Homo-oligomer: A and B are copies of this chain.
């Protein structure tokens, strides 16, 4: 069993990539819907929540934990790793930073994320560790989260908002050099990929950390000899509040229907 944890439904974009990459594995996904969003909360609070979620998932006998929330990855990985050792714990920031460094020709990399992720500076740090000469611009795009949750990820409002957030970096009026790579540093943002592409134009490399994280997990399991030898796979969905809302909104993120009874309510 592989544990996947997020503040809500956003991490389902990571789960979807994981299930595609690792079809023989069983997954248990926990969305902490009672306490979302994490993106506007303090680092100490988010780290405390992440530890509680990791503890709950360890009760399911997981062999690996994926922290599928950028904000939680940014502030809680060392503590969660120490708590779960020797179970490997994989966040979404390192894989995203690695893919961005590989994708960028100019070294001018933009990251959009929640307020908490940007403030914590984890992406900036992870990118500069790999490419010290990189010019990293991280900016919060919190409304994208609300837009994705409401199913308005495509269309004129999403595109207007994408221009609002991104024009300064990708169509700078002052003649400054534009970034050539954009990291979607929040698990909700793949839902706005079309609108974001329309705003930044065809030449920009867009890095979706869901896919890079899924590849990273596959390699880590293989390296540790933990990959499932084969099996039908499987999925359990857990939420800390409003399971019917989780099912309704989550279906868009997972790209398959979720029956309300499929989501188990748990308390942390």
A interface residues with partner B (beta carbon < 8 Å)? 33-37, 40-42, 45, 115, 142-143, 145-147, 149-150, 152, 156-157, 160-161, 164, 241-242, 245
Contacts and interface: CB of A to CB of B under 8 A. Distances in A.
A41 B33 CA distance: 8
Given A150-B143, A152-B143, A156-B160, A45 B41 contact: no
B146 A145 contact: yes
Contact of A157 (B37, B41, B45, B160): B160
Contacts of A115: 245
A34 B45 contact: yes
Contacts of A160: 156-157, 160
16 contacts: A33-B41, A34-B45, A40-B245, A41-B241, A41-B242, A115-B245, A142-B146, A142-B150, A143-B146, A143-B150, A145-B146, A146-B146, A156-B160, A157-B161, A157-B164, A160-B160
Nearest to A265: B42
A6 B179 CA distance: 41
Contacts of A40: 33, 36, 242, 245
A4 to B, nearest CB: 21
A213 to B, nearest CB: 26
Nearest to A242: B42
A98 to B, nearest CB: 30
A149 B140 CA distance: 13
Contacts of A143: 143, 146-147, 150, 152
Closest 5 CB pairs of A and B: A146-B146, A42-B242, A143-B146, A157-B160, A45-B241
A30 B259 CA distance: 37
A113 B178 CA distance: 40
Contacts of A161: 157
Contacts of A152: 143, 164
